[in-house]
Amino acid sequence: MNTDIYSESPVVHQPAFIDGHSVEIPILKILKQDGSIYENATMPEIDQALATKTYKTLAFHRVLDERMVAAQRQGRISFYMAALGEEAASVGGAAGLKDQDMIMAQYREQGALMFRGFSLENFMNQMFSNEKDLGKGRQMPIHYGSNELNYMTISSPLGTQIPQAAGYAYGQKMQGLDAVTICYFGEGAASEGDFHAGLNMAAVHQSPVIFFCRNNGYAISTPSDEQYVGNGIASRGVGYGMKTLRIDGNDILAVIAAVQLAREYAVKEGKPVLIEAMSYRLGAHSTSDDPSGYRTREEEAKWQEHDPILRMKNWMLAQGWWDEAQETALFEKLRDDVLAAVKVSEKIDKPPVEDLITDVYDQAPPLLQSQFEQLKEHIKKYPDAYPFTAGRIK
């Protein structure tokens, strides 16, 4: 170690505090709500193709969320989580990455998976926990995952993916890959011990991770000013000696620019970056939540004016890359597609009873096998009690 720690700091002789708010962290904004670009702003690398793909992904996201919240109200699925008003964080994140980069999300980042090309059917089958779900019907709706698309399966316990991302990225670097890991989490999850563990370990072991905090103002009912003191969590980056960037999370160009910059740095320097995207969760936390119990309509209305999708649309229109006819056609088609897909997926069978015991281990141990045999005998004895599986047991 450096034994001369005394000499690294300037010396004072009067006891006085460093103030808790002594780091001023600016916020990056590129795109205005009206679709124009701030004067002198530096644009991310983006061409018409990328912009169009990004915008279409945002539209898909908005439509899927709307429809599935409705489907939950109708009792067709058990649960859903929308990302209304903060779609730019996940979609822009994926747009700033390469396909080989690993995405480790919290749960409100379906947009990144959409951008990677997870099909509508895949989304549906997961939400309906049917036998075509890649996750074999084992997790609640919205816990997507895809090995092929480098999108780590969502895990409900909050914050656990943060140190995992540090390890994952360390492995990527050890192998010499041109790949990084992006790790999403909410400002609420940033209070977990695993956040501290993950950021510090990534800093010390120089893992190429982009830690991406979606600061949407709430953790369920808990407002961010009961979550931490200060104006965000970006200031913590400094505590880990980590490069840090705060952005307007509703500004898709700022998101892409920040992630592109972070990726370049992470690959070249082999070190982590912290991005904090300021946004607002416009909808309920989940379909089990009712925000009217803890916040005002006025507050929500104010944030409605910062809609990230409308903002991008305005820019696309201004670029001449998009028009209202395309808009109408796209949204119509998306709505139809989603409705049609719901109807298909909800009719697909539940997973086979075998999937109760697969994947617990690589191979089911004898005791589990015998529990399974007993279960099958039992179901055969009481077929009416287990209607979804009784007819399918060999």
What is the nearest approach in angstroms of its own copies to the Cβ of residue 268?
13
| Known catalytic membership, residue 285 | yes
Q: Do 274 and 213 touch, CB atoms closer than 8 A?
A: yes
| Known catalytic membership, residue 281 | yes
Q: At what angle do helices 193-205 and 161-174 cross, to 10 degrees?
A: 20
Q: Which is nearer to its own copies, 94 or 219 (CB)?
A: 219
CA distance 265 to 169: 14
Answer for which of 218, 280, 315, 322 binds ligand TPP (CB under 6 A) is 218
Answer for which of 137, 186, 208, 351 binds ligand TPP (CB under 6 A) is 186
Q: At what angle do helices 308-319 and 48-73 cross, to 10 degrees?
A: 150
Say whether 352 sits in a helix, a strand or coil.
coil
- Residue in the block written with tokens 């989304």: 123
Catalytic entry in 246, 285, 306, 311: 285
Which x/- pattern, by CB under 6 A, does the window 188-207 give for ligand TPP?
Answer: xx------------------
**Residue 239 interacting with its own copies (CB under 8 A):** yes
**Span 77-136, contacts to ligand TPP by CB under 6 A:** 108
Answer for which of 30, 71, 97, 165 binds other proteins (CB under 8 A) is 165
Q: Do 227 and 188 touch, CB atoms closer than 8 A?
A: yes
- Residue in the block written with tokens 């160009």: 253
What is the nearest approach in angstroms of other proteins to the Cβ of residue 20?
16
What is the nearest approach in angstroms of ligand TPP to the Cβ of residue 268?
30
**Span 27-66, contacts to other proteins by CB under 8 A:** none
User: Which residue number is nearest to Mg ion in terms of Cβ?
Assistant: 186
**Residue 159 interacting with Mg ion (CB under 5 A):** no
Catalytic entry in 108, 281, 306, 311: 281
Which x/- pattern, by CB under 5 A, does the window 211-240 give for Mg ion?
Answer: -----x--x---------------------
Give the type of residue at 218: Y
Q: Do 309 and 64 touch, CB atoms closer than 8 A?
A: no
What is the nearest approach in angstroms of ligand TPP to the Cβ of residue 189?
4
Residues 231-267 as b or e (16 or more Cβ within 10 Å = b): bbbbbbbeebebbbbbbbbbbbbbbbbbbbbbbebbb
Q: Which stretch binds its own copies (CB under 8 A): 75-83, 144-152, 295-303, 334-342?
A: 295-303
Give the type of residue at 263: R
**Residue 216 interacting with ligand TPP (CB under 6 A):** yes
Q: Do 262 and 273 touch, CB atoms closer than 8 A?
A: yes
Q: Do 372 and 356 touch, CB atoms closer than 8 A?
A: yes
Q: Which is nearer to ligand TPP, 157 or 176 (CB)?
A: 157
Q: Which stretch binds other proteins (CB under 8 A): 40-48, 61-69, 81-89, 375-383?
A: 375-383
- Strand 222-223 with 218-219, pairing: antiparallel
- Residue in the block written with tokens 């279409």: 56
Q: Which stretch binds ligand TPP (CB under 6 A): 4-12, 143-151, 211-219, 252-260?
A: 211-219
Q: Which stretch binds its own copies (CB under 8 A): 54-62, 111-119, 133-141, 224-232?
A: 224-232
**Residue 212 interacting with its own copies (CB under 8 A):** no
Cα three-residue angle 276-58-223, rounded to 5 degrees = 40
CA distance 379 to 102: 41
Half-sphere exposure of 146 (CA within 13 A, CB side): 21
Which x/- pattern, by CB under 8 A, does the window 307-346 give for other proteins?
Answer: ----------------------------------------
**Residue 156 interacting with ligand TPP (CB under 6 A):** yes
Q: Which stretch binds other proteins (CB under 8 A): 37-45, 230-238, 254-262, 369-377?
A: 369-377
CA distance 348 to 388: 11
CA distance 264 to 287: 38
**Residue 313 interacting with ligand TPP (CB under 6 A):** no
* Residues at the site binding ligand TPP, with contacts judged by CB under 6 A: 108, 156-158, 186-189, 214, 216, 218-220, 281, 285
Catalytic residue numbers, as ranges: 281, 285, 294
